């Protein structure tokens, strides 16, 4: 097939470009309104007001109090702070964590294990949904935290967070939910939902990289992990990233205002239709509710990394699983946890789209992908032996 000059970005779960509105809102804070919010003079106080306004905007979207929001440097910091900060604020030593969490969560928990904390893992079913039973059966007097993401970054599977919340709170255990992929696609109302800690990242929703948020419910105790000048009510020191915080607030507002994501959902349906027609292919988590923009599939007899490279040559940017685990060379821990055999999980591809993608983009993927799969399979000796 002749290569085209077309470029299709289908990796929105890895990162996104900032929207025009986000860029416009951030711009003044780089060169004109560059004050430090801790300074007493006018320029500083203007920056402080911008941070307060951003906090108010986000609190209104998430239906929580402004005092429950803390700005961070991104999803990874928010995740690590939620876990370590909770551990430092209690004498209890047991955490229950779902097996499909992002490495920011899993590796942070493993670090605590080295310091004597005990971990129990909650598994998932074949459709990628966290087992609520696993959580309940592992809760004990020493458990201080249940960790369950709101939607998975590799499969897009939306998790039964309200059920998980009910079980955790039945035993008086706090719930931390990584909401990095879910925000803007799953409805969040913190005045109704009982979630104690929740993490958000800016760059997945057309906000700036290096920005994030941790929501800490007023009932919940958390210790700081970053010490310094006492910013963020003494819990997260460091001069505020004013431009980033302003951009994050606009990104969250835009993402939440377009919660239905109907256009993205209909584009995903086109991809789904195309992929389901490719033989020896499994769509991961296909029986579960999924985010509108993520579709994950395993193509037998090929390596996901080869497929990603092939698509790249045709200007299609995608991932084999998550951007963070792509370089490990190992199949995704999420797919293995779903019981997908190792050999099949090696053939994983994640396409993730957002409102910037067009039907033309999707049609182009649907033209290239089946041919790419066919071409790569035709080079696989096992496939040749079985099917030629």
Binding site for ligand PLP (CB under 6 A): 74-76, 79, 102, 104, 149, 153, 178, 180-181, 201, 203, 212, 322, 324
CB of 151 to ligand PLP, least distance (A): 8
CB of residue 211 to ligand PLP, shortest distance in Å = 8
Q: Which residue is nearest to ligand PLP (CB)?
A: 75
Alpha carbon distance 324, 331 (integer Å): 12
Tell me whether residue 15 or residue 39 sits nearer to ligand PLP (CB atom). 15
Q: Which of these is catalytic: 108, 274, 324, 366?
A: 324
Q: Nearest approach, Cβ of 176 to ligand PLP (angstroms)? A: 12
DSSP string, 246-294: HHHHHHHHHHHHTTT-HHHHHHHHHHHHHHHTSSSEEETTTTS-B-TTE
Tokens of 121: 């893992």
Q: Is residue 285 within 8 Å of 156, Cβ to Cβ?
A: yes
DSSP string, 30-47: HHTS---TT-SSHHHHHH
- Count the Cβ atoms, other than its own, within 10 Å of residue 122: 24
Query: 133: closest CA among 98, 182, 180?
Result: 98
Query: 166 or 324, CB closer to ligand PLP?
Result: 324
| CA atoms in the 13 A half-sphere facing the CB of 327 | 3
Nearer to ligand PLP, 51 or 180 (CB): 180
C-beta of 284 vs 322, nearer to ligand PLP: 322
C-beta closer to ligand PLP: residue 203 or 346: 203
Q: How far is the CB of 290 from ligand PLP (least distance, A)?
A: 14
Annotation marks residue 324 as catalytic:
yes
**Shortest distance in whole angstroms from residue 67 CB to ligand PLP:** 23
Q: Which residues contact 273 (CB under 8 A, 6 or more apart)?
A: none
Which of 21, 23, 48, 47 has its CA nearest to residue 33?
A: 47
How, if at all, do strands 212-216 and 118-122 pair?
unpaired
Which residue is associated with the tokens 């431009």? Answer: 243
Q: Which two tokens stand for residue 356?
A: 């910037």
Q: Which residues are tagged catalytic?
A: 324
């Amino acid at each position: 097939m002749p290569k085209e000059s077309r470029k299709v970005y289908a990796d929105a779960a890895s990162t996104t470009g900032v929207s025009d509105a986000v860029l416009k809102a951030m711009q003044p804070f780089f060169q004109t309104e560059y004050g430090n919010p801790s300074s007493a003079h006018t320029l500083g106080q203007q920056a402080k007001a911008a941070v307060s306004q951003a906090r108010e905007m986000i609190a209104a979207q998430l239906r929580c109090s402004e005092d429950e929001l803390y700005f961070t440097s991104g999803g990874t910091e928010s995740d690590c702070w939620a876990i370590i900060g909770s551990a430092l604020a209690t004498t209890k030593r047991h955490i229950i964590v779902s097996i499909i969490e992002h490495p920011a969560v899993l590796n942070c928990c493993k670090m605590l294990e080295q310091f004597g904390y005990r971990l129990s893992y909650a598994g998932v079913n074949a459709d990628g949904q966290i087992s609520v039973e696993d959580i309940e059966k592992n809760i004990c007097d020493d458990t201080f935290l249940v960790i369950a993401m709101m939607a998975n970054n590799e499969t897009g599977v939306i998790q039964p967070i309200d059920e998980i919340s009910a079980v955790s709170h039945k035993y008086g255990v706090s719930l931390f939910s990584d909401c990095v992929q879910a925000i803007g696609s799953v409805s969040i109302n913190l005045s109704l939902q009982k979630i104690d800690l929740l993490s958000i990242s800016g760059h997945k929703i057309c906000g700036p990289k290096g920005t994030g948020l941790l929501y800490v419910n007023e009932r919940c105790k958390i210790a700081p992990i970053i010490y310094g000048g006492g910013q963020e009510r003494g819990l997260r020191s460091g001069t505020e990233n004013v431009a980033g915080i302003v951009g994050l607030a606009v990104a969250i507002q835009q993402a939440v205002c377009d919660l239905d994501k109907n256009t993205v959902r209909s584009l995903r349906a086109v991809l789904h239709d195309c992929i389901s027609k490719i033989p020896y292919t499994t769509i991961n988590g296909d029986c579960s509710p999924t985010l509108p923009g993520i579709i994950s599939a395993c193509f037998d007899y090929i390596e996901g990394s080869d497929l990603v490279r092939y698509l790249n040559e045709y200007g299609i940017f995608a991932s084999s699983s998550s951007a963070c685990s792509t370089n490990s060379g190992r199949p995704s821990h999420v797919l293995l946890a779903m019981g997908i055999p190792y050999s099949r999980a090696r053939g994983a591809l994640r396409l993730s789209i957002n409102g910037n993608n067009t039907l033309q983009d999707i049609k182009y993927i649907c033209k290239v992908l089946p041919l790419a799969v066919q071409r790569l399979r035709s080079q696989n000796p096992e496939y040749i032996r079985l099917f030629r």
